[in-house]
Chains A and B, each alone.
Chain A
């Protein structure tokens, strides 16, 4: 059973069409939830860390939120340069501080 599940697997948007990516987790004792962006052929690039339910972080067109069971990455008026795979990861009481990743959502934004 996956501890971190991301949905959808792939998302195609038109430029300017806002949407949300979901990351649900089943771990106990969440210590942190992390969002990354990964471009083809590159390593994951850190975006946000969320530590407690109700917390929100924002950067340009991206906004991350956290509840007790899931996190959302909201993308407002996306541009083609936002096309990438977005990864979610958690650390929890039993992970020894290691990040446990979901499988990612591949976002394509068409002009």
Chain B
């Protein structure tokens, strides 16, 4: 089972560039979310989706966009990268509202 797959694993961007972090899950989960993990800050929620066509903002949404056109995919777009977006990004999916989430292996992003 693939579970949650994130691509790329590593990325270096220049300030002002845009890019899309890809996330796909094969578990037919309705809930998907994006977190960023920074030293000393823990995992913080960026955006989440409770089903295809439905997205909402989390704790730190500024500078990021999401869309959910299919159950399987939940891409995260950085519109104009800034050094403050240097972080490790994790995508997660879960079956239902108060169940456990399953995480991808992460994307390590550096913005210079």
Are the CB atoms of A43 and B42 closer together than 8 Å?
no
In the assembled complex, A71 has its CB within 8 A of some CB on chain B: no
The tally of residues in A whose CB lies under 8 Å from a CB in B reads: 24
CB-CB < 8 A to A45: which residues of B? Answer: 103
Q: How many A-B residue pairs have CB under 8 A?
A: 61
Residues 35-56 of chain B, each 1 if its beta carbon lies under 8 Å from chain A, else 0: 1000011111100101000001
In the assembled complex, A78 has its CB within 8 A of some CB on chain B: no
Nearest-neighbour CB distance to chain A for B14, whole angstroms, equals 24
Q: How far is the CA of A46 from the CA of B94 in the complex (A)?
A: 11
Are the CB atoms of B48 and A96 closer together than 8 Å?
yes
**Chain A residues in the interface with B (C-beta under 8 A):** 31-32, 34, 36, 41-46, 49, 51, 87, 89, 91, 96-104
Q: Can you sample 15 A-B contacts with CB below 8 Å?
A: A31-B97, A32-B99, A42-B105, A43-B105, A44-B43, A44-B90, A87-B42, A96-B50, A96-B97, A97-B31, A97-B50, A97-B97, A99-B33, A99-B43, A100-B45
